[in-house]
Structure 1
Amino acid sequence: MDLNALVDFNLVATHGGFGRASRAGRRSKATLSRRVADLEEQLGVRLIERSAKGLELTDAGRQLLSRTAGPMGEVVDALTAAREGNGQVTGRLRVAAPILFSQLAMGRHCAEFHRLYPGVTVEVVGDDRVVDLVEEQFDVAIRPNPRPDTTLVGRSFARDQLVVVAAPSIPMPRRSRTPVRVPAVVNAFRDGETWPIDGKGLTLEPVPVLRLSSMLMLRDAAIAGAGVAQVPRSIVWDQIAKGALVQWGATDGKEVDLWVLHTSRRLASPKVKAFVDFMSSRYPDGNLVLTG
């Protein structure tokens, strides 16, 4: 099979047309069309259909793209690195990251990374889903407590912990053998949880007064005195230090490790390696601290 034909098919399929692929890959539309046709002939199947709406992938084309986009991207990156020489960190870097971390940290991190590596264009998508790096064409994903996955490798670069906080006006209950009911602002997507406080001999039973879908909303509602909240310590450390919130304790068993992950150790491109090393250097003591 002609590797160039497979590379060009991925280029056309990814960009959704021969014109855009031609501009992105700096190759003529005629060359791209010929190589896709050659690949179709070699495989004996139609990969692309042209319609009034434009280019559409056949079922075979979609299947081929889903299985080759990631590996072919890595091969192209490896060939580019070999051609340009080690140390050349260039290209587009597509990153998936949790929404909260994206909002409070990735802007600063991306600006600093771009200053260090001006040849890299970083694209960050804030999403709490577990994205498929290959199918959705991401180079890197940042995930909390990722499930074991043999297709992904990476590094833990920071840790966090869920803590229970409240405004100073709300008194902390005393030690108790049974759960203690407290007015609480809670995650809108979770229900029926109790909050065991590590080392305090105390378990809280939150009685929802507000249900909110964002950790930042939970934090701000707690500061306003609406009720007790369970939130990441990384987003309330400053409010605790200033006395706007009181930390009642850490939630037992709610530690969080933040990882930066990619698809292949063997063919990790220079830009991916640089980003993994960069993120690992942002939190030298391992503690996640966010501001905003």
Structure 2
Amino acid sequence: MDLLALADFNLVARHGGFGKAARLSGRPKATLSRRVAELEASLGLRLFERGARALKLTEEGRALHERTGQLLTELEETTAAIASGGQAPRGRLRISAPLLFSQAALGKLAAGFVMRYPEVRVEIVVEDRPVDMIEEAYDLVIRVNPEPDINLIGRAFLSDRQVVVAAPGLAWPQDGGQVPAVVRGAISKADTWKLTTPEGPRELSVLPVLAMSSNVMIRDAVSMGAGAARLPLSLVSRDIAAGRLVQWGEIEGVKIALWALYPSRRLLSARVSAFLDYLKAAFPQGTPEELAAYLG
């Protein structure tokens, strides 16, 4: 297979058309069109559907782009690294990260990283939904307690615990009563939370009265006295230490782990490796207390 033709095909696929690819790369449009036509002829496949105004990848073209685009990028990066003597990481690092970690720590982390590695351009997309790393061109995803995926590998770099907190003025309910609760997501029915406390296991009956989509909002509402809530220890440890919140216990059996993941079929690029090392240096033990101290 002609690697130059394959590179031109990926260039056109990445930019969505011959004209845009030609303008951005400085390559003649006719040359790109000829190269792609030669590649289609050699493979015996149609890689693009050519409409009057739009150019779309066929199913075969999409599969070829997904499987070869990143490999060619890695080949270019490897060649550049060897030519430069294996110096500092460079290029674009595209990361998908969850909302809470992004709001709390990732801005500070990313700023420190690009200051250390000025030839890396970092792009962070904040989202809690599952993403297709290949299809959406992510180099790295950060997720909380991710489901096992044979296509992804990585490492856990932070752990956390879920605790129940309330404002100092809110008392533990007596005689089996219910306490108002602030929950994440949608308002649900009355529930029972199983806690581990210094006095031993306890059960807390709660009645959700307020639902929010952000843990930071939940913490603020709890601080105002709206109810008790389950929150990550790292988010509320400073409030507990300052007396703004009281810890009633720890949710039994709930462990939180943040993972940094990348596709198993990709070579680990220098920039991804550098970012993983940077995370490890920021949180060497990976404890909630380390994250809380970092936020402080």
Is TM > 0.5 for Structure 1 vs Structure 2? yes
Separation in 2 of the partners of 1:19 and 1:103?
39
- Of the structure 1 ranges 193-202 and 114-123, higher mean CA displacement relative to structure 2 is found in 193-202
When residues 171 and 88 of structure 1 are mapped into structure 2, their CA distance, relative to the original with a 3 A threshold, is same
- Of the structure 1 ranges 19-28 and 225-234, higher mean CA displacement relative to structure 2 is found in 19-28
1:156–1:280: 8 Å Cα contact kept in structure 2? no
When residues 81 and 194 of structure 1 are mapped into structure 2, their CA distance, relative to the original with a 3 A threshold, is farther
Which string of whole-angstrom CA distances, capped at 9 and with x for unpartnered residues, describes residues 97-140 of structure 1? 00111122111111100000000000000110121111111001
- Of the structure 1 ranges 45-54 and 159-168, higher mean CA displacement relative to structure 2 is found in 45-54
Secondary structure in structure 2 of the residue aligned to 1:14: helix
Aligned to 1:32: 32
- Of the structure 1 ranges 143-152 and 202-211, higher mean CA displacement relative to structure 2 is found in 143-152
1:81–1:269: 8 Å Cα contact kept in structure 2? no
**Unaligned segments of structure 2, at least 5 residues:** none
Aligned to 1:274: 274
Deviation at 1:249, TM superposition (A): 1.5
1:87–1:270: 8 Å Cα contact kept in structure 2? no
Q: Structure 2: which amino acid aligns with 1:181? A: Q
Secondary structure in structure 2 of the residue aligned to 1:194: strand
Separation in 2 of the partners of 1:218 and 1:92?
35
> What is the aligned counterpart of 1:181 among 178, 182, 187?
178
Q: Structure 2: which amino acid aligns with 1:197? A: L
Aligned to 2:231: 231
Separation in 2 of the partners of 1:150 and 1:122?
26
Aligned to 1:209: 209
Aligned to 2:284: 284
Aligned to 2:195: 197
Q: Structure 1: which amino acid aligns with 2:274? A: A
Aligned to 1:42: 42
Which string of whole-angstrom CA distances, capped at 9 and with x for unpartnered residues, describes residues 238-282 of structure 1? 211221111112111111111111124872111111111111111
Q: Report % sequence identity.
A: 49
Asked if 1:129 corresponds to 2:129, the answer is yes
Separation in 2 of the partners of 1:233 and 1:101?
13
Secondary structure in structure 1 of the residue aligned to 2:88: coil
Q: Structure 1: which amino acid aligns with 2:194? A: P
Query: RMSD of aligned C-alpha atoms?
Result: 2.4
2:151–2:265: 8 Å Cα contact kept in structure 1? no
When residues 280 and 265 of structure 1 are mapped into structure 2, their CA distance, relative to the original with a 3 A threshold, is farther
- Of the structure 1 ranges 160-169 and 194-203, higher mean CA displacement relative to structure 2 is found in 194-203
Q: Structure 2: which amino acid aligns with 1:212? A: M
1:75–1:267: 8 Å Cα contact kept in structure 2? no
Separation in 2 of the partners of 1:31 and 1:49?
18
Separation in 2 of the partners of 1:223 and 1:145?
27
Q: Structure 1: which amino acid aligns with 2:184? A: N
2:88–2:117: 8 Å Cα contact kept in structure 1? no
Separation in 2 of the partners of 1:19 and 1:84?
32
Deviation at 1:172, TM superposition (A): 2.6
Separation in 2 of the partners of 1:239 and 1:285?
22
Which string of whole-angstrom CA distances, capped at 9 and with x for unpartnered residues, describes residues 50-108 of structure 1? 33433222232223223333444333333333333313311010001001111221111
Which string of whole-angstrom CA distances, capped at 9 and with x for unpartnered residues, describes residues 139-161 of structure 1? 01111122222322222111111
2:188–2:208: 8 Å Cα contact kept in structure 1? no
TM-score normalised over the length of structure 2: 0.88
When residues 26 and 148 of structure 1 are mapped into structure 2, their CA distance, relative to the original with a 3 A threshold, is farther
Aligned to 2:94: 94
Q: Structure 1: which amino acid aligns with 2:8? A: D
1:152–1:262: 8 Å Cα contact kept in structure 2? yes
1:69–1:134: 8 Å Cα contact kept in structure 2? no
Separation in 1 of the partners of 2:249 and 2:80?
51
Q: Structure 1: which amino acid aligns with 2:278? A: F
**Unaligned segments of structure 1, at least 5 residues:** none
When residues 35 and 206 of structure 1 are mapped into structure 2, their CA distance, relative to the original with a 3 A threshold, is farther
- Of the structure 1 ranges 186-195 and 201-210, higher mean CA displacement relative to structure 2 is found in 186-195
Asked if 1:59 corresponds to 2:56, the answer is no
Separation in 1 of the partners of 2:210 and 2:266?
48
Q: Structure 1: which amino acid aligns with 2:6? A: L
Aligned to 1:5: 5
2:187–2:208: 8 Å Cα contact kept in structure 1? no
Written as runs of structure 1 = structure 2, the 5 A alignment for 1:244-255 is 244-255=244-255
